[in-house]
Amino acid sequence: MNGRVQDAVTGTFLSADLYIGRPMNTQNYNLYGYVYNNPLTLNDPTGYCPPGTGQQVTKAGYELEEVVITAERPSWLSRVAHAFGNMFKRKPSRPQGQKCGAPSLAPHGVGLSAGGNAEAGVGAAGAAGQISTGGGYFHNSNGGWSSGTYISYGAAANAGSATAGTPTQSSTPFVAGASLGGGASLFVTNAQSVHQLEGSFTTYSLNVGIGPLQASVQLSVGGDIWQFGISPPVAGETLGFSVSSVTTNTEVDPNNDGCQ
């Protein structure tokens, strides 16, 4: 049916939404959220409400003009995120369950991602949140090329040694400075399939910019796997300067092709 299933108890969806209609609205980066996480007063008949489709969020049966996004041109970030679903769809003919080659520090994968972050801190205390969705092509030394998509997220706060976050933080988070931004990135990784990107990572980030005059660099390390991403100027929008280190979690569709 090409629809999305909502959990009526939690007010969230069971699958992620690839549309990010308003990049500067942080509620848009909760891809499982429903109508800006305000389900008591708003409703979305389709579960997508993508810009430019004629669908609208409504309140008590009446159109809310102030939140209607159909008159806006679809943002570049929305178009990039939506493109991932088409660029990196699994090819059913690809072999699955094949064992990956021996771990190597050399790059084996390349791709694109889109996401956002918000963080502020003074080192000894701070908070950070980030989410991204992406996809790429990966080379397995035992069986050629495969493709796949993923979603990565993390949120953490600390005051001294007291720490809270999702996923559970493997070490004390560190945040210095403050920044808010979103954009597209290029990434390279030594993962030989998207399945090797699944799990917990320590993610180091550097964000700096004023609007589109920005740059963001991110390195995620988990076990033998690393992923390095960079968002160059004009590829996104950032306000502020910050450096951080938090534990993030990456999820992939088990039906993606590639070695495991």
Query: Cα dist. 51→57, 67, 73, 194, 227 in Å?
Result: 11, 11, 7, 29, 31
Q: What pLDDT is recorded for position 119? A: 96
Bridge-based pairing of strands 125-140 and 109-122 is antiparallel
d(CA 120, CA 129): 10
Q: What pLDDT is recorded for position 141? A: 82
Q: What pLDDT is recorded for position 253? A: 83
Ranges under pLDDT 70 in the chain = 1-4, 10-11, 13, 17-29, 31, 34, 39-97
Contact 119, 128 (CB under 8 A): yes
Q: What pLDDT is recorded for position 94? A: 47
Contact 173, 163 (CB under 8 A): yes
State pTM to two decimals: 0.65
d(CA 59, CA 56): 10
Q: What pLDDT is recorded for position 24? A: 58
Residue in 121, 110, 106 with CA at minimum distance from that of residue 156:
121
For the chain, first and last CA: distance in Å? 30
Q: What pLDDT is recorded for position 60? A: 42
Q: What pLDDT is recorded for position 99? A: 85
Query: Cα dist. 245→130, 241, 252 in Å?
Result: 11, 14, 22
Q: Residue 209: beta bridge partners?
A: 214, 240
Q: What pLDDT is recorded for position 61? A: 42
Task: Give the tens place of pLDDT for each residue, 149-167.
Answer: 999 999 999 999 899 999 9
Q: What pLDDT is recorded for position 86? A: 52
The H-assigned helical ranges of the chain are 76-87
Q: What pLDDT is recorded for position 157? A: 95
Q: What is the DSSP letter of 46?
A: S
